Amino acid sequence: MKLIIIAPRGKMGRLVTASADAREGVDIVAGVAPSGRDYVGQDIGIASGLGKEIGAPVVDDLEAVIDQCDAIIDFSTVEQGMRTLASARKHKKALLTGTTGFSDEQRKAFSDAAAEIPVMLAANTSMQVNLLYRLLEMAAKAIGDSTDIEVVDMHDRNKLDAPSGTASEIGELLCNALGKSMKEDAVYGHVGEGRREEGSIAFHSIRGGDWPSSHTVYFIGNGERLEITHHAVNWKCFSEGAVTGVLYLTGKRPGAYTMQDCLGL
């Protein structure tokens, strides 16, 4: 598989480059950086901190190199993510996007593109987190109606969106399992006076330090509670999962795929 990596000097771009370079069957053909960055023109192995050249340049124009690839991984910004999506759709390239913070309208653009290309919009590319999703679905169907549900996400101080994309995906999953709606049943934090709103799903976001990612869902009943938690102690699990995900997309028919598909769930 021939791969293009968007934002190869970003936090995730560096890790994705390293994971892709180490993975058998993956050939990185280019990286794409914002225009004007001083590492445009460098080999991606140098620009991303691999410490070696791998024969793939960093350019500032995706259109100039997109026909060389089979697939694209993008962990950049919402704005760049939409530009990448448009190019991938135009050139019929598989796309895995790990960026979070897209609006409902922007997420619909990914769904629309799935009619023409294989696409994966993954708020969390950890394989274990996607197993967590299935466990949460099972728990919600079994005890969700008889418990109070609280979702807590913890990330580093530089995390831009709250709740996290993963927490929002968890919320959608819980709502689907319980016949609820994020718009109507989600509560963000508890403040002031009054009882907990019956049947609501509450979200809390903690931001600080350099902690990569933790997500805990509490199913709180009378006299007992169930906690289901995932901790990422570094970001490598996300880059490894992203490479696994984009390999899964290669050769697939157009459609919207998920990391859970990679696990056969």
Residues forming the active site: 155, 159
Coil, strand or helix at 103: coil
Residue with token string 């399992």: 177
Q: How many CB atoms lie within 10 A of CB 205?
A: 17
Q: Which of 5, 97, 79, 83 is nearest to 48 (CA)?
A: 5
Query: Strand order in 225-232's β-sheet?
Result: 186-188, 201-207, 148-155, 213-220, 225-232
Coil, strand or helix at 95: strand
- Spatial contact of 99 and 82, defined as CB atoms under 8 Å apart: no
CA 88/CA 91 separation, integer angstroms: 5
CA distances from 24 to 160, 185, 251 (A): 33, 45, 17
